[in-house]
Amino acid sequence: MKNVGVLLVWNLLVLSATGDLEVTKNSTSFRTSGEICLNGGVSVSSLTGGRHMFCLCADGFEGKLCETAKAQDCYVGVGHFYRGTVSKSWRGRMCEEWDAETRQRYLTSDVNAGRHNYCRNPNFRRRPWCYVRRNLKLVAEYCDVPRCTLKPTPPSPAATETQIAELSCGLPTRRMQYKIVGGETTAVEAHPWYAAVLRQKHGRLGLHCGGSLISPCWVLTAAHCIPDGSKTNMSAFSIILGRNRLHEENPAVEQQFSVEQIFVHEGYGKYLEFDDDIALMKLKAKDGQCAKRSNFVNTICLPPPQQFVPAGTLCEIVGFGDEKEGAAVNPEHLKEAQVNIFPDDMCAGPGFYGKRISEKMFCAGRLDWSRDSCQGDSGGPLACEVGSRFFQFGIVSWGDGCARSLRPGVYTKVSKYNQWIEEKTGLITSGVLYPEK
């Protein structure tokens, strides 16, 4: 199981490297309980009147109401997940049925448990292939299967204008990098929801954790960033929004707040260490107002309840955390890194974290173990782009060391906590935007 898990993640990383993962990254796995969007699409509504604007379609579907299935006889990445019915090699030879050993090892979840002669790529070759008879010998040949080039159907121009006018969460001002472990220096304009959580210790105010702005007055972070729980001295904390350099203030763009209320999840650490690792910090308003939206400060979107993105999706982490395990000082510049979502069964597998993983956690990283969150990144957001907007699917929680082999970062699954967030903050988290009631 350990090796199969590693191979699966390798395939996901290959998809990312080739750019084909864009098909998944810019689509959505959200579900809708309404009758507007079909086949697992989610309806995006306006704030004014709550009217339907357009559908964000699930991967594999397109059309105004997500009513049309995309062509399936093409492959993404190296085609490990190809499930089409092409059964001839590129030379025109008919494929042989898969042998019992291959079916049992790789194709148990395939069509008819692998009892077919369709082209597949179970062992991560360059593209789908099959066994054929050549001069009475059984040999492997690549198949004549095209690479997928389809992109998700974008919303209409009219809907996009309305979206921009009425929905502001999850929209970065600009995407920029100049060159988190293995990450690159970035600008806060690319992550305007990032909140630096500072704490007074030994008479000095220093970086303690990260967080994310989910509404003008509320920051989402990790429970383990609040070490004393309900007994925490709130006056010891300070939240800074819009900061690009850790030790360089810029009053023209930054917004700094003290904290007036903290909620730590009641279940934190009760059953598993770092289970329910989520907390909320309320900013203390100035002149009746909390955070002001600007090019450097904006809220991030929260995903609908119980929804998640597919394994392999490329997402982003950001923070001022250590650049390597055991580093003496935090980096001066804000850094970002891109990581892939790992399959749940792999993360909780015996070769990785096993029973230390609950259904409220997930793992993300890169198979070469070059990119990871680290000390100081705790509480920060893991954000994934869905329909040109960033949603916070994870909170940096824990992991064995930083960027260690077979020890990816572990994140709190945010969409498990919509109801808890609503109860504590009064925010509405069932739509795309999350205004205060």
Active-site residue list: 224, 277, 378
Q: For residues 394-420, b (16+ Cβ closer than 10 Å) or e, as one string? A: bbbbbbeebbeeebbbbbbbbbbbbeb
* Residue 10 exposed, middle or buried by CB count within 10 Å (0-12, 13-18, 19+): middle
CA nearest neighbour of 318 among 430, 108, 157, 172: 172
For residues 45 and 37, give the distance between their C-alpha atoms in angstroms, rounded to a whole number: 12
